Amino acid sequence: MSRWNVLVVGNGAREHALVWKLRQSPRVDHLFCAPGNGGTAVIAENVPIAANQVEALAAWSADNQIDLVVVGPEEPLALGLVDRLTRRGVRAFGPTAVAARIESSKSWAKSLMVEANVPTAAYAIFDDAVAAWEYARIQRYPLVLKADGLAAGKGVIIAMTPEEAKAAIRMALEERTFGEAGRTLVIEEFLAGEEMSLLAFVDGRTVAPLVPARDHKRVDDDDTGPNTGGMGAIAPSRLADRYGVEHLTSTILQPIASALADRGIPYHGVLYAGLMLTADGPRVLEFNCRLGDPETQVLLPLLDEDLVDLIEATATGQLTPGPVRARAGYRCGVVLASDGYPGAYPTGLPISGLDQVDDETLVFHAGTKLVDGLLLTAGGRVLTVVGHGETLAAARQHAYQNVEKIYFAGAHYRRDIGGREADQG
């Protein structure tokens, strides 16, 4: 068996988890991460190229005999990193730029959902402020306004009143606060319910789902405070049990994969459905063209298959239909964030206590860097600490016991990751 040199692109805890999982594969030889962080530096070699420098990444990969590039974030996918790698003959994991439009254009994703009969919020699309306001002022509130393009998680506004909608329309369509991403606005019905993430490997036609996961997007306990990149996750989430993963897959993920293949845009990679479980059934809030962060930090430890095997099957159209094999038990991942996050935050603060964490806890780094052997903060989300257990309650307890051992000035985290689901049994 020839072993592969693998490059992971990105610098978050998701990418540290990818590197960690790939390290376990007997099929991996040299492992690189671009640009990586203080955690990936220890188990792989960091390459100082930013994740959005797609031409430089493609050239470096070709020049350094890389056999596989695993792309973490959406931006390089939307910028066509996979297309460039393919042209250079380098294997890549992730969709092409055209297929990545499922995430990079919300209006495109919406029309695809309608065509494929996938349940989602009722919506309308505008690029003119007057027309948008004519529509918005007579809708039911709350009302949801979304920048069409990639806006780093900041492009969704939930307007409680017509005045707030008017301000959002002005910001997006007149003041161009979201830049090019906000040239077009999707205005949609507000959906109430519980949020859930369902991710699957897709090989063009066949869809192989992972266990359902649950993210926690608000910064403070009880889902209060501003939205963040995600403050923690648990898996498996039992919220979807009444529908079943197979049903959700066959009514949501499979129709999208088939519609894309029928349009001549076969999707290869991980397809992520952000769902709202409403009183009227599941509805899609959004699709992402990649693994989620922080979901990946709890999903990969549960994955009971070789990641290189899965990636190869995904690229070559050889996935086995049905759920991928999962380990028993639960995982709970708690994010430690810098003081002030998701607003402005300091960096360069020493992190201590990692040597106190028990051997069975996984600590995935995001905003960290190693300077002369010293680990310092370097971003908003700093670490994801993942505990495990036979029950969700035990996994939570394991995670929090270890979170408490880690210190940096101003560190904050939510105390209720997975709490509501654990209470429900």
Q: Is 292 left (phi over 0), alpha (psi -120 to 50) or beta?
A: beta
Cis, bond preceding 342 (omega within 30 deg of 0): yes
Nearest to ligand GLY of 132, 157 (CB atom): 157
Tokens (6 digits) for 19: 């590197």
Shortest reach from residue 30's CB to ligand GLY, in Å: 28
Nearest residue to ligand GLY by CB is 292
Secondary structure (DSSP) of 298-334: HHHHHB-S-HHHHHHHHHHT-PPSSPPPB-SSEEEEE
Shortest reach from residue 73's CB to ligand GLY, in Å: 9
In this structure, are residues 375 and 368 in contact, taking their beta carbons and an 8 Å threshold? yes
**Contacts with ligand GLY, 188-217, as mask; x by CB under 6 A:** ---------------------------x--
The residue range among 165-173, 242-250, 289-297, 416-424 that interacts with ligand GLY, by the rule CB under 6 A, is 289-297
Angstrom distances, CA of residue 122 to CA of 107, 144, 164, 169, 288: 12, 10, 20, 18, 19
Nearest to ligand GLY of 94, 357 (CB atom): 94
Task: Give how many residues touch ligand GLY by CB under 6 A.
Answer: 6
Nearest to ligand AMP of 106, 331 (CB atom): 106
Shortest reach from residue 26's CB to ligand GLY, in Å: 29
Binding partner at 190 among ligand GLY, ligand AMP, none, C-beta below 5 to 8 Å by kind: ligand AMP
Question: Residue 136 and residue 139: Cα distance in Å, rounded?
Answer: 5
Nearest to ligand GLY of 80, 274 (CB atom): 274
Binding partner at 295 among ligand AMP, ligand GLY, none, C-beta below 5 to 8 Å by kind: ligand GLY
Q: Which of 39, 204, 229, 274 binds ligand AMP (CB under 6 A)?
A: 274
Q: What is the crossing angle of helices 129-136 and 162-169, to 10°?
A: 170
Binding partner at 204 among ligand AMP, ligand GLY, none, C-beta below 5 to 8 Å by kind: none
Q: Which of 339, 374, 265 is nearest to 41 (CA)?
A: 374
Query: Interface with ligand AMP includes 300 (CB under 6 A)?
Result: no
Binding partner at 235 among ligand AMP, ligand GLY, none, C-beta below 5 to 8 Å by kind: none
Nearest to ligand AMP of 274, 333 (CB atom): 274
Nearest to ligand GLY of 13, 422 (CB atom): 13
The residue range among 93-101, 288-296, 306-314, 409-417 that interacts with ligand GLY, by the rule CB under 6 A, is 288-296
Shortest reach from residue 293's CB to ligand GLY, in Å: 5
Q: Which of 151, 31, 149, 12 is nearest to 72 (CA)?
A: 12
The residue range among 188-196, 287-295, 367-375, 411-419 that interacts with ligand GLY, by the rule CB under 6 A, is 287-295
Give me the residue label for tokens 């209470």.
423
Work out the end-to-end distance of the chain between its first and last CA atoms, rounded to an integer number of angstroms.
46
Query: Interface with ligand AMP includes 220 (CB under 6 A)?
Result: no
The residue range among 186-194, 352-360, 377-385, 412-420 that interacts with ligand AMP, by the rule CB under 6 A, is 186-194
Backbone angles phi, psi at 392, to 5 degrees: -65, -40
- Angle (nearest 5°) at CA 81 between 78 and 85: 150
Sign of CA dihedral 164, 169, 175, 181: positive
Question: Residue 20 and residue 7: Cα distance in Å, rounded?
Answer: 12
Secondary structure (DSSP) of 264-292: T---EEEEEEEEEEETTEEEEEEEESS--
Q: Which of 121, 303, 375, 403 binds ligand AMP (CB under 6 A)?
A: 121
CA 382 to centroid of chain Cα atoms: 16
Query: Interface with ligand AMP includes 148 (CB under 6 A)?
Result: no
**Contacts with ligand GLY, 220-249, as mask; x by CB under 6 A:** ----------x-------------------
Contact footprint for ligand GLY (CB under 6 A): 215, 230, 288, 292-293, 295
